[in-house]
Amino acid sequence: MSTLPNKSRRAVITALANEIVSLNLDHPTRVAIDGRSAAGKTTLSDELAEAIRE
């Protein structure tokens, strides 16, 4: 299993956040994060939420 270097991971999270923020919906945006136990779902969702707030 490979992991992204911090700069690349941040770039991916920023790109995801930009896509989510750019959605023009008539209701709150919901994002589902799925994966196996201990795959990093909570870490990803926390980082993504922070990027969206920025």
Q: Where are the domains of the chain?
A: 6-53
Distant-in-sequence, close-in-space partners of 33: CB < 8 Å, separation ≥ 6 = 41, 44, 45, 48
> Model confidence at 5, in pLDDT bands (50, 70, 90)?
confident
DSSP 8-class letter at 38 = T
> Model confidence at 1, in pLDDT bands (50, 70, 90)?
very low
User: How large is the average pLDDT for residues 11-40?
Assistant: 94
The total number of residues written for the chain in this structure: 54
pLDDT for 30 equals: 93
pLDDT for 3 equals: 63
Nearest to 29 by CA among 14, 43, 44, 18: 18
pLDDT for 31 equals: 94
